Amino acid sequence: MLQSSFYRKIQFSFLIFILLPIVTVSSLAYITIKRTTMDKMEAANQSILQLMTKDIEKLLDDISFASHFYVQNEEIRDNLREIQGMTGIHTFDDFNKYTKIRNSYDQVSINALNKYVRLFLVNDTGFIVPYMDVGSGQTLPQMENDWRTVKPRIVLDNPTSIQWLGTVAGSGPDKDTYYYLSRVIRDTDTGGLLGTLMIGISSTYFDPYFSSSTSGQFTLFEKNGQRIAGNASIAFTEPELPQKQGDRNIRSEAIIAQGNWKLVYETPEKTATGQITKTFFVSAMALAVFIIMFLMLSFFLARSLHRPIRKLQRIAHQFGEGNRSIRFPDKGRDEISDLGRSFNSMLDEINGLIAGIETEQEQKRVLELQALFAQIRPHFLLNTLNSIKCSLYVSEDKLHGRMIDSLSSLLRAYMRVNEPSTLRSESALLKHYLEIMNMRNDLALELSVRIPAELERQPMPMLLLQPIVENAVVHGFVDKEEGGLLELTAERAEDRVVIRISDNGRGMTDGQLRELQAVLNQDPDQQSSYRRVGLLNVLQRMRLTYGMSAEMGMERSENGGVTVRLSFPIQPLEGESHV
């Protein structure tokens, strides 16, 4: 190389003083950015894990409260004494004793969990009394099978604490795994065995929590390493052998003290750094193209390139030392200036990508925290309303007791707004809503419902009809002093369901009806500025559920008010959701 021409030496110098520093600085920047992003991801994961741990601890506290209540309540002990030795229901007296035990479950407020919890009492002979509101798939044979499985694990001489029995594989159609806890109940006078309280938590209870994160996977373990719920690919302990580059997971752990459980959260490394790596290589390829073009032109620009090369070299060294704000002055129009602008663009894009990832992770963390908090607050409100309702019924205030029932039904519907409902359930919700509005606004509104039996179980989104009735109450009866009437009718027209909601309120002019119908017929992108958000939300939810063939119409009713007509394709009956 020393015997080569001057221009070849210059070209070789370009490779040494431009390409090598840029590659080095870019690699250092990539490694630094990747490490910083992973550190921030670990901190965000740990925050999410701590909040989820608190939520699971609250579930265990609720179950602990229920078990303590059964052990300490003397009335329940008396009921258990009555069924001692009972092996089945053979007489009417046996049925009355059995009913007393089942009615005692109402004193423990775990209704929000009845879909995921198996709760039953077993007397001294193995006779099972299940929870009154047994959820879907929770049959008595399944409970008997679970009892036979966990019975050998129970220490009958330990009535003072909760016994953690471990998991039982599902035996019913759902095939869910249940984690069981038990509490032995003994006679305080004789010390004899009165019964055993069994509480089983389904692994599907944790699915809404674990699926709330889109960036990683959760797994819940017992202290002995047995998996309770979550992703089966996650190990109880972190693997000692190093994983392949790019396949490593960011792992966070938390201990749930009450059950000595371990909650593990793993996020693939490529989730946090995949976009950075992709941008780095794309930028590197683009930079390589510019360098090749620059070397081709260097034959004619050898002398003029000497000074810019030294300047670019100094900038590369400073950037490698941590000065992230330094940039190449790209005032010229030659190839070195183009190269400098490309280098600056790469640095700007990497810095912008870091800021975007930080913002995105923070937004995800806030949304996940809000979702988890939303699981806690409604549960507290429903328990409080249930306590108020019981107090009202005890004081024989049945009117306000029914109001509390209606409000509780609406709250449960709001909690399950993303779950499917049925036309029958929606009509029941409307009656609860009108009861509350009659009390709040001192109205005398009535709801008439006419639904054919074949359409009662027709699937539909939760709370689809409530905004329409709310519009009728707020706008149709605002100045109406005498009583009002709302009518809900449904019919089947070939392969479609047609629902009409009519009122005898003050109504709308023909011009207003035409204007509103025109808005409903517009393209969805043009409806965002319209002020009647409730009607547009109903139409958008129908189209998201049934497709663009779903329709909404407005017309004058026979009683002088307004009729809202909904039409959508009939759906197959796969299940039913009750309020």
Average pLDDT on 273-285 reads: 74
CATH class of the structural domain 421-569: alpha beta
Q: Which two tokens stand for residue 387?
A: 């306590």
In this prediction, residue 107 carries a pLDDT of 67
In angstroms, the CA 248 to CA 263 distance is 19
Res. 469: pLDDT tops 80: yes
Say which range, 382-391, 413-422, 475-484, 567-576, has the weakest mean pLDDT. Answer: 382-391
Look up tokens 């017992």; give the residue.
Answer: 222
Residue 128 · residue 86 · CB < 8 Å: no
Reading the block at residue 102, the tokens are 């089942």
Asked if residue 142 has pLDDT above 60, the reply is yes
Inform me whether the pLDDT recorded for 353 exceeds 80.
Answer: no
| pLDDT over 50 at 298, yes or no | yes
pLDDT of residue 290 exceeding 80: no
State residue 454's pLDDT score.
92
- The pTM assigned to this predicted structure is 0.43
What pLDDT score does 498 carry? 96
- Mean pLDDT over 420-432 rounds to 90
Top-confidence residue, 575 or 425: 425
Tens of pLDDT, residues 541-569? 888 888 889 999 999 988 888 999 999 99
Q: Predicted confidence band at 243 (pLDDT cuts at 50, 70, 90)?
A: low
pLDDT at 57: 83
pLDDT over 50 (residue 222): yes
Question: Between residues 53 and 458, which one has the greater pLDDT?
Answer: 458
Question: 475, 494, 495: which is closest to 484 by C-alpha?
Answer: 475
Residue 577 pLDDT: 43
pLDDT at 536 over 60: yes
Beta bridge partners of 251: 266
Residue type, 32: T
Per-residue model confidence (pLDDT) at position 111: 45
- The pLDDT of 401-422, averaged and rounded, is 75
Structure tokens belonging to residue 440: 């709040």
Tokens coding 471: 């519009």
Predicted pLDDT of residue 114? 55
Q: Report the C-alpha gap between 506 and 481 in whole angstroms.
A: 11
> Rounded CA gap, 468 and 478, in Å?
15
Which whole number is the average pLDDT over 178-205?
A: 86
Question: Counting Cβ atoms within 10 Å, is residue 280 exposed (0-12), middle (13-18) or buried (19+)?
Answer: buried
Q: What are phi and psi of 377, to 5 degrees?
A: -65, -50
pLDDT at 450: 95
Q: What percent of the chain has pLDDT over 90?
A: 9
SS3 (DSSP) at 372: helix
- Whether residue 202 contacts residue 175, with contact meaning beta carbons closer than 8 Å, is answered with no
Ranges 267-271, 522-526, 558-562: which has the least confidence: 522-526
Q: What percent of the chain has pLDDT over 70?
A: 73
* Predicted pLDDT at 6: 45
- pLDDT: is 95 or 216 the higher one? 95
| pLDDT at residue 576, rounded to an integer | 45
Give the pairing of strands 562-569 and 551-556.
antiparallel
SS3 content of the chain, % helix, strand, coil (to 5): 55, 20, 30
pLDDT at 453: 92
The DSSP element (H or E) to which 459 belongs, if any, is strand 459-461
**Residue 247 pLDDT:** 62
Say what the pLDDT of residue 487 is: 94
Specify the pLDDT at position 359: 78
The rounded radius of gyration (Å) of the Cα atoms in the chain is 34
Q: Is 191 exposed, middle or buried (0-12, 13-18, 19+ CB in 10 A)?
A: exposed
Residue whose tokens read 């969805």: 524
Q: CA angle at residue 91 from 85 to 96, to 5 degrees?
A: 80
Q: b/e per residue, 510-545, with b = 16+ CB within 10 A?
A: eeebeebeebbeeeeeebeeeeeeebbebbebbbeb
Instruction: Output 83 or 238, whichever has higher pLDDT.
Output: 83
Contacts of 258 (CB under 8 A, 6+ apart): 57, 60, 61, 64
If you average pLDDT over residues 404-431, what whole number do you get? 80
Most confident of 126-135, 156-165, 302-311, 386-395: 156-165
Place of tokens 């009958």: 156
Give ∠ CA 218-224-226 in degrees, rounded to 5.
Answer: 45
pLDDT (0 to 100) of residue 375: 46
Secondary structure class of 335 (helix, strand, coil): helix
Instruction: Tell me whether strands 484-493 and 445-450 are parallel, antiparallel or unpaired.
Output: parallel
Long-range contacts made by residues 202-205, C-beta under 8 angstroms, separation at least 24?
202/116, 202/117, 202/118, 202/174, 202/176, 202/177, 202/178, 203/167, 203/176, 203/177, 203/178, 203/179, 203/228, 203/229, 203/230, 204/116, 204/174, 204/176, 204/229, 205/59, 205/113, 205/116, 205/117, 205/229
Cβ neighbours around 560 below 10 Å, total: 12
Between 244 and 192, name the one with better pLDDT: 192
Please determine, for residue 244, whether its predicted confidence score (pLDDT) is greater than 60: no
Mean pLDDT calculated for residue range 405-427: 79
Are 187 and 81 in contact, with CB atoms under 8 Å apart? yes
User: According to the model, what pLDDT value does residue 449 have?
Assistant: 94
Q: Any idea which residue has 């029941």 for tokens? A: 428
- Residue 456: band (very low, low, confident or very high) from pLDDT cuts 50, 70, 90: very high
pLDDT on residue 161: 84
Q: Domain-by-domain residue ranges, the chain?
A: 421-569
**pLDDT tier at 521 (50, 70, 90 boundaries)?**
confident
